[in-house]
Amino acid sequence: MDKKTLVLGVIGADVHAVGVSILNRAFLDAGFDVVNLGVMVSQEEFISAAIETNADAIMVSSLYGQGELDCRGFREKCDEAGLKGILLYVGGNIVIGKHEFAEVEKRFKDMGFDRAFPPGTDPQTTIACLKEDFHLN
């Protein structure tokens, strides 16, 4: 019953499907309950799914380069919907152009994301972060 529930999906009009299916598998294997919403997921869909399933974290994936735009106002909407303090992660291909990752990471954190991951992050790294944030061992 203490299984943590993660809502996972690719945000916006993004159709890159391979990454999330790999993450889905990895999170399940690590003992999480995963609600995989697939591709082209709106902020509202992430939030509705998180409400019904009483999710502990929302994992946002973005590959096609518009992640920052798509993620604007996400934290505020979560607050509005009563998902106060839910863990928000973002990853995939969220660096556009020649920006430093640290800079990008800061921008996402300013938007209210708890963690942002650079391209090519190993799922195990993310799982370790989840365990840390959930105080699991």
Partner 1 sequence: MRPVLLIDFGSTYTKVTAVDLETEELLGTAQSWTTVQTDIGEGLAKAVAILEEKTGPLNFEARYACSSAAGGLRMITSGLVPELTAEAAKQASLGAGAKIRGVYSFELTEDDIEDIDEEAPDIFLLVGGTDGGNKECILHNAEMLATCKSDFPIVIAGNRSAARACARRLEGRDVHIVENVMPRFGVLNIKPAQDEIRQIFLKRIVEAKGYTKAQELIDNIAMPTPSAMMQAMKLLAEGCENPDGTKEKGIGDLLAVDVGGATTDIYSVCDGMPTDMNTVFKGLPEPYIKRTVEGDIGMRYSIHGIEEAVGTAYVSKLSGIPEQRCRELIDYLGSHTEVIPQGENEDELKHLDFALASGAIKTAVTRHAGRIEEVYTMNGLAYMQSGKDLREVKQIVVTGGSLIHTERTGDIASAALTDPADPYSLKPREAEVWVDRSYILAAMGLLSAYEPAIALRIMKKELKKEQQ
Which residues participate in catalysis according to the annotation?
A: 14, 16
Select from partner 1, ligand B12, none the partner in contact with residue 49, using the beta carbon and a kind-dependent cut-off of 5 to 8 Å.
partner 1
Q: Does 24 bind ligand B12 (CB under 6 A)?
A: no
Site for ligand B12 in 58-87 (CB under 6 A): 59-61, 63-65
Beta strands, E only, 11-74: 33-36, 57-62
**What number of other Cβ atoms are within 10 A of residue 74's Cβ?**
21
Residue 35 per-residue DSSP state:
E
Q: Does 6 bind ligand B12 (CB under 6 A)?
A: no
Q: Does 86 bind partner 1 (CB under 8 A)?
A: no
Using the minimum distance from each CB to partner 1, give the nearer residue, 4 or 115: 4
Residue 41 per-residue DSSP state:
B
Using the minimum distance from each CB to partner 1, give the nearer residue, 40 or 129: 40
> Least distance (Å) from partner 1 to the CB of residue 33?
7
Report H helices in 42-100: 43-53, 67-71, 74-80
Nearest Cα residue to 95 out of 127, 117, 114 = 117
Please state, in angstroms and as integers, the Cα–Cα distance from residue 20 to each residue in 35, 39, 67, following that order. Answer: 11, 8, 15
Residue nearest to ligand B12 (CB): 91
Q: Does 49 bind partner 1 (CB under 8 A)?
A: yes
Binding site for ligand B12 (CB under 6 A): 13-19, 22-23, 59-61, 63-65, 89-93, 96, 117, 119, 121, 123, 126
